Chains A and B, each alone.
Chain A
Amino acid sequence: MLNIDCPWCGKRHETEFHYGGEAHIARPEDPAKLEDTEWAEFLFMRTNTKGYFAERWLHSHGCRRWFNVIRNTVTHDIVGSYKMGEKPPKLPKRTGDAK
């Protein structure tokens, strides 16, 4: 049960949140101008990171804000949360690929 730091409400249990997948994937400005492969890249391709990963969460049962979290996908360590539009915090050097 993750303890997720909502940038507004503070730490709350995972049950109050919804997962929103990889962060920083902006919807293309003008989709009509994209080739099929470029559009498919936006639609389907994700990095599937092992280690620290920027991802989106929605505090769905709380303040209903979307925000970003840096989480280690191996250890579930959360390094920090930041609001939409803010810069991510510095990643720890260690990749955290625990066994």
Chain B
Amino acid sequence: MAETPWITPAAAIAESFPDGLKELGPRVQVNLRGDVTDSTFVNAVKTATGLDLPDAPNKVAAGKECKALWLSPDEWLLVGEGEAASLVQSLEEALSGQYVAINDVSANRTIFEISGPYCHQVLMKSSEVDFHPRAFAPGNCVQTLIAKSQAIVEQVGREMFHIYVRNSFSRYAGAWLAEALVEYSETS
């Protein structure tokens, strides 16, 4: 299959993003639904991906090739590098016959990375959720609103967050995040 450019609406403005904000390239994203209390399901996912699916809300479980973000009691977003099709296929094979849903959603959302000393301030301007280190830490994720756009926020480092935004909102959300950083870019 021919290589095609990966163009999200945010790409057009990403070049002018201030330090501390960038749009990441495409990642494998697969939405998985199933019954986490059913060991057949959990074991099959482990076999296919090496992941222990997090059953605690708003946690991220890291594996070798991908990680799993808790989205709801029966829903996870698997995120990794490589080929979505092969991840989908190995999940489909391992979970064949089970009551599950597996969807390649790699194109559904784009990912912004905010980093540096002001990332908490940016989040305070953009979200009503408490991201203070006392309440939120690397390995946590949350589905919430960034400005008025639905988003998944994952903390990946002490001063680094990934913000997953549905593509149609990405220009709005990207511009919003960039603007939120301006105040600090000029003083630093």
B and A form one assembly: yes
Q: Which A residues are within 8 Å of any B CB, using their own CB?
A: 8-10, 12-13, 15-16, 61-65
17 contacting pairs across A/B (C-beta < 8 A) = A9-B57, A9-B58, A9-B142, A12-B129, A12-B144, A13-B128, A15-B145, A16-B128, A16-B144, A61-B145, A62-B143, A62-B144, A63-B73, A63-B75, A63-B143, A65-B72, A65-B73
Chain B neighbourhood of A13, CB < 8 A: 128
Chain A neighbourhood of B145, CB < 8 A: 15-16, 61
- Give the residue name and chain of the B residue nearest to A65 (CB): B72
Q: Which B residues are within 8 Å of any A CB, using their own CB?
A: 57-58, 71-73, 75, 128-129, 142-145, 150
Q: Is the interface of B mostly helix, strand, loop or mixed?
A: strand
B73:A8 contact, CB within 8 angstroms: yes
Chain A neighbourhood of B143, CB < 8 A: 9, 61-63
Cα of A15 to Cα of B58 in the assembled complex, Å: 18
Known: A13-B128, A16-B144. A61 touches B57 (CB 8 A): no
| Of the residues B57, B71, B128, contact of A15 by C-beta under 8 Å | B128
Known: A12-B129, A13-B128, A15-B128. A63 touches B57 (CB 8 A): yes
Chain A neighbourhood of B144, CB < 8 A: 12, 16, 61-62
Chain A neighbourhood of B72, CB < 8 A: 8, 63-65
Known: A15-B128, A16-B145, A62-B143. A10 touches B150 (CB 8 A): no
A8:B57 contact, CB within 8 angstroms: yes
Chain A neighbourhood of B73, CB < 8 A: 8, 63, 65
What 8 pairs between A and B have smallest CB-CB spacing?
Answer: A63-B72, A13-B128, A8-B57, A62-B143, A61-B145, A9-B57, A61-B150, A64-B72
